[in-house]
Amino acid sequence: MILTNTGTATATTLRLRLHSAAAHAVGVRFLGSEMEGSHSMVQFIVEYAPTFLSVLVGALVTFVAARLYYQKAGKDLYKEASELRRLNNLTLRAMADAGLCEFNIDNDGHIRGLKISLSGKSETSSSMTAKPTVTSAKRDEI
């Protein structure tokens, strides 16, 4: 294969000619592999199977690790919420025992609401004083 003519080889033209020869060779190789059909599919599977397998294994490991972590976190959250609920009920019952408030309690002994008792007292008084005076009136005015 002749890449250049005598006297025309400069650095730029030689580089371009070499590039185009290499690009042509790659194109021919790729075109040839397409024509092989099933052989290229087997080659594709053999070449990329480890990549797909690693992605699947990575996804499985990530899923299992996340699942275990969030199950443990959920159990811990449930324990903490139960303990806080128990302490809150103790505090409210201590307030009720001290006479600070009253609560509505269901049949299971759980506090369900606050009883609000209202009372009122009203007193009224009224006083009035008057001083009557008598004046004589003229007959025309009556």
pTM for this prediction: 0.41
Q: Is there a contact between 20 and 12 (Cβ–Cβ < 8 Å)?
A: no
Question: Running DSSP on this structure, what letter comes out for residue 111?
Answer: E
Question: Running DSSP on this structure, what letter comes out for residue 89?
Answer: H
Kindly list the averaged pLDDT for each block of 10 residues, start to end, along the chain of length 142: 54 56 49 53 85 93 96 96 93 87 85 81 88 74 59
Q: How far apart are CA 4 and CA 11, in angstroms?
A: 11
Token output for 67: 């699942």
Q: What is the pLDDT of residue 127?
A: 87
Question: Running DSSP on this structure, what letter comes out for residue 112?
Answer: E
Q: What is the pLDDT of residue 55?
A: 93
